[in-house]
């Protein structure tokens, strides 16, 4: 079908939209499209099915992507037992062997990156170039952890007893339950799976019900990469709360890794207390983005657009509050709006030139509208965008910039997870640090300054787990990814990423 859309400021978008089924049929590797579950090296059927829909074409002709099998507790019990049995031998494999199969999977992802990106576009809605970037990013974790696998550290510690030697060794913790969100359907799995496999753990993976296709494609590639049966098990389910509780309470699952909201993280943590599981939690954020008066304004504008509007604002490290010094506020907002007006193209992700896609579903749209309406009712001004785009699709919204935002507005207190950028004035370092830290969460933060002393001071005082200084893009496999406060605990990626999948065993040896 052909759509011609006229947007505000005389932007015209004409593009043809292929039904989801036609995109699936065009995959170079049709074996990547899976709708069954993967347990112990076999593809199995579930107890029911649920629809997976393209958020860009929701309730439209061609919007349905697939009916995917849904799995219940009994199937998960089978998967946990398979992972537990596989762990008995997999834990004893060499680091070099695990490195090789991870590197195989890395190469297979890159060989199939165009198809994997198309699947992400279909189920998530992000533009193709963003999706392609995600596949490359996701694959990089397998490369990174393939390099870490042969080098899991052990230590010899000096004993106070002359006749003793103390050894500390890291061993794989066991079966790991992996619970992932929809916003990065490939990368949120690979960041966890790569670390788990590198040290000898086995896994049971529950992908988000909105985006199970990427997870199932990865399961297929893991089979081709030579992963032993039972090491990777992937079971989609539309009963997220039931399955989450089951995994947290199962005695054979020794670790849970979860990425999602703070509220859900607290529930899972409570449920895991019955077995005292090891946990890593990457939870909600409310990232500050600070532009000081000595910043390079043009560079800060580019960084703010990258950070705030990537994937239409639906990333956990998106800037949520943009603080701009009052002396450069007018210049920043003018350049920010002008850059968006000249570069933004909203539409279907597989159309050439599109920069931004839809929000994931109606609940996300409701929160976007709530934040805009609350802010404008309290005096904020719409500087750019501000409206839904129903002519494109019911999940599309203009990228929006709000001026004169204050800290009593909802958008200053809650994570929007959508395409709205609030601009907040500040007058001093002390004021902006107080505002930036006035939140229960602390995942990521950003600031722009050319003053070296200020850079060190602000970097040390911002209460976040990750920080971008004069850059709006921080994510890579080498970064210790994680937050502080109610944004969770544990680190993914980097040289620290293996620690959460191991336990330390101390061995005291008498040598006399």
The candidate with the shortest Cα–Cα distance to 447, out of 474, 415, 421, 422, is 474
> In sequence order, which residues have a C-beta less than 8 Å from that of residue 94 and are 6 or more positions away?
150
The candidate with the shortest Cα–Cα distance to 412, out of 375, 381, 384, 447, is 375
Contact call for residues 3 and 9 (beta carbons, < 8 A): no
- R_g of the chain, CA atoms, integer Å: 24
Torsion, Cα of 440, 443, 447, 451 (10° steps): 90
- Separation CA 27–CA 220 (nearest Å): 15
- Separation CA 443–CA 470 (nearest Å): 17
> Half-sphere exposure of residue 17, counting CA atoms within 13 Å on the CB side?
26
The candidate with the shortest Cα–Cα distance to 261, out of 441, 398, 53, 97, is 441
- Separation CA 239–CA 328 (nearest Å): 49
- Separation CA 328–CA 294 (nearest Å): 9
Whether 282 sits among the annotated catalytic residues: the reply is yes
Per the residue annotation, which of 223, 282, 394, 398 is the catalytic one? 282
Q: Report DSSP letters for 151-162, one per residue.
A: G---EEE--SST
> Which residues, listed in sequence order, are joined to residue 392 by a DSSP beta bridge?
none
**Sign of the C-alpha dihedral computed for residues 36, 108, 138 and 360 taken in this order:** negative
> In sequence order, which residues have a C-beta less than 8 Å from that of residue 278 and are 6 or more positions away?
173, 254, 255, 256, 500, 503
Q: Which residues belong to the active site?
A: 282
């Amino acid at each position: 079908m052909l759509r011609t859309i006229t947007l505000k400021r005389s932007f015209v978008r004409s593009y043809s939209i292929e039904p989801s089924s036609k995109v699936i049929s065009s995959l170079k590797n049709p074996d990547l499209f899976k709708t069954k579950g993967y347990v112990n090296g076999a593809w199995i059927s579930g107890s029911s099915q649920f629809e997976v829909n393209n958020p860009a074409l929701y309730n439209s002709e061609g919007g349905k992507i697939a009916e995917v099998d849904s799995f219940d507790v009994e199937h998960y019990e089978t998967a946990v037992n398979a992972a537990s049995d596989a762990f008995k031998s997999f834990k004893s494999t060499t680091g070099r062997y695990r490195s090789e199969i991870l590197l195989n999977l890395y190469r297979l992802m890159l060989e199939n990156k165009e198809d994997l990106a198309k699947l992400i576009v279909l189920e998530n809605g992000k533009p193709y170039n963003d999706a392609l970037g995600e596949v490359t990013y996701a694959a990089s974790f397998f490369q990174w952890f393939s390099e870490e696998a042969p080098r899991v550290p052990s230590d010899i510690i000096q004993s106070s007893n002359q006749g003793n030697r103390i050894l500390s060794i890291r061993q794989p913790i066991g079966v790991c339950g992996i619970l992932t969100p929809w916003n990065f359907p490939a990368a949120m799995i690979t960041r966890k799976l790569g670390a788990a496999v590198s040290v000898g753990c086995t896994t049971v993976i529950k992908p988000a019900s909105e985006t199970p296709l990427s997870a199932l494609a990865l399961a297929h590639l893991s089979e081709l990469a030579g992963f032993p049966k039972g090491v990777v098990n992937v079971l989609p389910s539309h009963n997220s709360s039931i399955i989450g509780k089951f995994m947290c309470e199962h005695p054979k699952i020794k670790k849970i890794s979860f990425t999602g909201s703070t509220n859900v993280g607290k529930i899972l943590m409570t449920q895991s207390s019955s077995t005292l599981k090891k946990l890593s939690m990457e939870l909600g954020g409310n990232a500050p983005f600070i532009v000081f008066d000595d910043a390079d304004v043009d560079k800060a504008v580019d960084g703010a657009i990258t950070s705030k509007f990537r994937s239409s604002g639906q990333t956990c490290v998106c800037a949520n509050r943009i603080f701009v010094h009052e002396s450069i506020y007018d210049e920043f907002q003018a350049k920010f709006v002008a850059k968006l007006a000249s570069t933004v193209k909203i539409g279907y992700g597989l159309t050439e030139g599109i920069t931004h896609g839809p929000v994931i579903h109606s609940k996300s749209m409701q929160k976007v509208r709530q934040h805009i309406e609350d802010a404008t009712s309290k005096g904020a001004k719409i500087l750019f965008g501000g409206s839904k785009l129903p002519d494109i699709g019911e999940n599309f919204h203009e990228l929006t910039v709000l001026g004169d935002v204050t800290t009593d507005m909802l958008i200053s207190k809650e994570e929007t997870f959508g395409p709205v950028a609030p601009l907040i004035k500040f007058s001093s370092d002390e004021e902006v640090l107080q505002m930036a830290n006035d939140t229960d969460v602390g995942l990521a933060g950003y600031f722009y300054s050319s003053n070296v002393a200020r850079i060190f001071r602000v970097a040390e005082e911002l209460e976040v787990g990750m920080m971008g200084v004069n850059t709006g893009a921080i994510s890579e496999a080498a970064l210790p990814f994680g937050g502080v406060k109610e944004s969770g605990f544990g680190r993914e990626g980097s040289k620290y990423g293996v620690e959460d999948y191991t336990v330390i065993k101390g061995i005291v040896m008498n040598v006399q």
